[in-house]
Amino acid sequence: MSSYVLVHGAWGGANGFRHVRRLLRAEQHEVSTPNLTGVGERVHLSSPQVGLGTHVRDVVNHILYEDLDNIILVGFSYGGFVVTGALEHIAARVSHLVYLDAFVPSSGETVSSHIGREGRTKVELGQDWLLNGPTREFDSPAEAEWMNARRTTQPIGTFTEPVFLSQALESFPFKRTYIKAKLAPEGDIGNEAFWRAARHAKDSPAWRYLEIDTNHMVANNRPDELARILAEMA
């Protein structure tokens, strides 16, 4: 049995991992999916004060309070920033770090700077502090209806607060894997950064690189394949 912590992306919640969570638990693995403050089921806690640091602490506190160790930590999409920031506090508890079609930032970067759109998301006096995300595509119309009904806004501070990491990601002793959604168009917002991270992982001996033949919503479209890949990491 292994312990998995699955960290969701922007504009959604932990419910996006519900299929994968069920499949891994059926194999007797311990699986938790913390929901980040201000989005998903915790949208009622949204405020202008919510930033990347809030989400990092959400995950760090979950791991520390549950006393989880030897974990396989998975960050999906925006969750790549969150798991990267969490390493400063819980790296010793991680056995395998997985980026699922996710950002792999360097210390000091924001989501906005990482995708080259920093000037468009600077917080100015009187500016709305909530952002809506791009439309997502799902293979199943039923899954699309279910997920879209639970889609939320996201506080802008989560995209403008920099991540902090005191050492290079490749210097940590845990294993690293990048899983790329092969059918995600590189021209879509954010996807260029995902493909950039994927190419780096593919060419680096410090990473394992895998692909899944679907679009960005991997956990919804290919839960069986994703769960199988994650289970093999145990």
Q: What is the mean pLDDT of each run of 10 residues along the chain (234 residues)?
A: 92 97 97 98 96 98 98 98 98 98 98 78 65 92 97 96 96 98 84 95 98 97 98 95
| CB of 226 closer than 8 Å to CB of 179 | yes
User: What's the confidence (pLDDT) of residue 123?
Assistant: 55
Instruction: Report CA-CA distances (Å) from 63 to 3, 7, 21, 83.
Output: 11, 12, 17, 11
Using CB atoms within 10 A of its CB, is residue 58 exposed (0-12), middle (13-18) or buried (19+)? buried
Residue 77 is a catalytic residue: yes
Query: Which runs of consecutive H residues, i.e. helices, occur in the chain?
Result: 18-26, 52-65, 79-90, 111-114, 141-148, 157-160, 191-203, 218-221, 223-232
User: What's the confidence (pLDDT) of residue 188?
Assistant: 76
User: What's the confidence (pLDDT) of residue 128?
Assistant: 83
Domain range for 105 is 3-232
Q: How many CB atoms lie within 10 A of CB 102?
A: 30
User: What's the confidence (pLDDT) of residue 156?
Assistant: 95
Tell me the three state secondary structure of residue 150: coil
CATH number at residue 176: 3.40.50.1820
Identified catalytic residue from 2, 77, 140, 204: 77
User: What's the confidence (pLDDT) of residue 176?
Assistant: 98
Q: Which of 77, 74, 127, 68 is nearest to 102 (CA)?
A: 77
Instruction: Report CA-CA distances (Å) from 157 to 7, 50, 74, 122, 164.
Output: 18, 6, 22, 9, 15
User: What's the confidence (pLDDT) of residue 79?
Assistant: 98
Contacts of 33 by beta carbon, 8 Å cutoff, 6+ apart: 5, 6, 7, 8, 14, 17, 21
| CB of 131 closer than 8 Å to CB of 153 | yes
Residue with tokens 């925006």: 78
User: What's the confidence (pLDDT) of residue 212?
Assistant: 98
Helix or strand run (H / E) with residue 96: strand 94-100
Could you tell me the two tokens for 120?
């468009």
How many domains are there within the chain? 1
| CB of 94 closer than 8 Å to CB of 174 | yes
User: What's the confidence (pLDDT) of residue 49?
Assistant: 95
User: What's the confidence (pLDDT) of residue 50?
Assistant: 97
Alpha-carbon span 10 to 224, nearest angstrom:
22
Contacts of 27 by beta carbon, 8 Å cutoff, 6+ apart: 227, 231
User: What's the confidence (pLDDT) of residue 116?
Assistant: 85
